[in-house]
């Protein structure tokens, strides 16, 4: 693909990757089209040289990998990890709230969204539902995405909230209830959403047992800036890195070792779930790979001794209106290079050896890099890197595209940084040395 094809394809990907579940479904479609074979975590594996495989052990988590053609080099393992979830809102059970015929939905916050950016946006609903089945402990699960704007959270007029521009606390329980519809005459509120979901899923309303549905911004991605040098899109954190890693894997070939992408869920709420990075799931998958290669005598030692992980997540770029929020000497700027994230308290896993290795990788690719360290008086966030190294004793570097408006409904990143990330990841997978 040329660079505009990548941008267009990315926007198409983002239109379908609306929640973590839908993101995994979208990736699976792509991998199926590229000839990857799906594996079952509960079945024995027999893995071949030059094989392409993936598995989704849980609906919002996916791991895919390719095996090189050289039997002598199968002990090398390269991983790019990213997360599938985004800050936003989850619809609660029995969600309908009737206020003078205006029907809103009761929601709870997921992660740390910037609340005021959700006002006056076209919103939709996606996720999954559980439907009655013949097996008591195995209800039928249906994934669905309405893919149209059916919700909105209207702002209160400034005439009724005179202090709004001075900064007003937003209460999620009261003020973030999205408006679904206006009831007509004798229409009752009960099960309005349930009826809508049942019709969309093609099932009887009475058969729906539970729903795991999220609200998402239904706006599409666009290029902005006088030179169209920026990308504005919902869910850039962290789906830009998910897309870049996926593209790099399907677009690279290597004779050596195993190349892998690992997309985990629930990073925004601490990763402490079976599909999150703070679990043994990924290490279990790595053991299954070793066993699958031993079974075909492709890995006689049963070990993968040379492993390097790129933990890819959004990084903070310098905001022109708030330059003082950055560190005084480390100020990543959009379109000036991929950012290496560093923390003395180890909220990022980068260390001197892995930082230097990534710098050399950028040099090999022919792209720029920058470094991010938190302002010393400000506590920063964390990401997947430290958690992955907690369960797997591997070398890890934390990196990401520098971006603005992180956790807003729409986020902003540099177009060149995004394109560079694909090239860096592809070079990483194709390294043979």
Tell me: the pLDDT tens digits for 191-242?
899 999 999 999 999 999 999 999 999 999 999 999 999 999 999 999 999 9
Q: Where are the alpha helices (DSSP H) in 61-131?
A: none
pLDDT in tens, 244-264: 999 999 999 888 899 999 999
- Three-state DSSP at 95 gives strand
CB crowding 190-204: b at 16 or more within 10 Å, else e: eebbbebbbeebebe
* Dist. CA 409–CA 219, nearest whole Å: 9
Q: What is the pLDDT of residue 256?
A: 84
| Structural contact between residues 332 and 402, judged by C-beta atoms closer than 8 angstroms | yes
Give CA separation, 57 vs 23, 211, 262, 283, 395, in Å. Answer: 14, 20, 11, 13, 25
Of 285, 388, 276, the closest CA to residue 53 belongs to 285
CA 410 to chain CA centroid, nearest Å? 14
Residue-wise pLDDT for 269-290, tens only, equals: 999 999 999 999 999 999 999 8
Q: 50-90: per-residue pLDDT in tens?
A: 999 999 999 999 999 999 987 765 678 999 999 999 999 99
Give the domains, in start order, of the chain with CATH numbers: 3-86+234-430 (3.40.630.10), 88-217 (2.30.250.10)
- CA pair distance 283, 87, nearest whole angstrom: 26
Closest CA to 267 of 82, 56, 391, 406: 82
Model pLDDT for residues 117-170, shown as the tens digit of each residue:
999 999 999 999 999 999 999 999 999 999 999 999 999 999 999 999 998 899
Q: What is the pLDDT of residue 432?
A: 83
The tokens for 62 are 């996916």
Global confidence as pTM: 0.96
Residue with the larger pLDDT of the pair 432 and 423: 423
Helix (H, G, I), strand (E, B) or coil at 399: strand
Output the pLDDT for position 300.
Answer: 55
Per residue in 168-204, pLDDT (tens digit) is 899 999 999 999 999 887 776 678 999 999 999 999 9
């Amino acid at each position: 693909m040329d660079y505009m094809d990548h941008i267009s394809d990315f926007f198409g990907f983002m239109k379908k990757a609306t929640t973590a579940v839908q993101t995994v479904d979208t990736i699976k479609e792509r991998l199926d089209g590229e000839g990857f074979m799906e594996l079952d975590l509960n079945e024995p594996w027999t893995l071949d040289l030059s094989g392409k495989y993936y598995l989704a052990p849980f609906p919002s988590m996916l791991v895919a990998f390719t095996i090189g053609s050289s039997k002598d080099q199968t002990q090398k393992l390269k991983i790019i990890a990213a997360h599938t979830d985004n800050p936003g809102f989850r619809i609660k059970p029995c969600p309908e709230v009737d206020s003078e015929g205006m029907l809103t939905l009761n929601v709870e916050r997921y992660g740390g969204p910037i609340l005021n950016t959700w006002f006056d946006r076209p919103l939709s609903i996606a996720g999954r539902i559980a439907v009655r089945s013949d097996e008591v402990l195995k209800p039928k699960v249906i994934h669905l995405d309405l893919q149209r704007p059916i919700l909105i959270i209207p702002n209160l007029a400034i005439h009724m909230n005179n202090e709004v521009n001075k900064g007003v606390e937003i209460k999620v329980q009261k003020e973030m209830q999205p408006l679904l519809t206006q009831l007509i005459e004798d229409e009752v509120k009960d099960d309005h959403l349930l009826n809508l979901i049942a019709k969309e899923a093609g099932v009887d309303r009475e058969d729906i047992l539970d729903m795991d549905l999220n609200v998402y911004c239904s706006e599409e991605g666009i290029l902005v800036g006088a030179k169209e040098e920026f990308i504005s899109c919902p869910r850039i954190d962290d789906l830009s890195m998910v897309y870049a890693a996926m593209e790099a894997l399907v677009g690279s070939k290597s004779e050596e070792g195993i190349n892998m992408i690992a997309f985990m869920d629930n990073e925004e709420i601490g990763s402490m779930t079976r599909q999150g990075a703070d679990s043994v799931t990924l290490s279990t998958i790595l053991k299954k790979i070793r066993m699958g290669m031993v079974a075909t005598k492709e890995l006689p030692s049963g070990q993968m001794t040379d492993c390097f992980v790129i933990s890819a997540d959004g990084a903070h770029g310098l905001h022109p209106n708030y330059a003082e929020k950055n560190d005084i000497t480390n100020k990543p700027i959009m379109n000036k290079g991929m950012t290496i994230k560093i923390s003395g308290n180890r909220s990022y896993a980068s260390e001197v050896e892995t930082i230097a290795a990534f710098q050399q990788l950028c040099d090999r690719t022919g792209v720029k890099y920058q470094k991010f360290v938190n302002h010393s008086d400000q506590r920063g966030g964390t990401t997947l890197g430290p958690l992955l190294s907690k369960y797997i004793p591997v070398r890890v570097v934390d990196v990401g595209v520098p971006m603005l408006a992180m956790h807003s409904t729409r986020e902003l990143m540099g177009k060149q940084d995004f394109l560079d990330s694909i090239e860096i990841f592809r070079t990483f997978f194709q390294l043979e040395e």
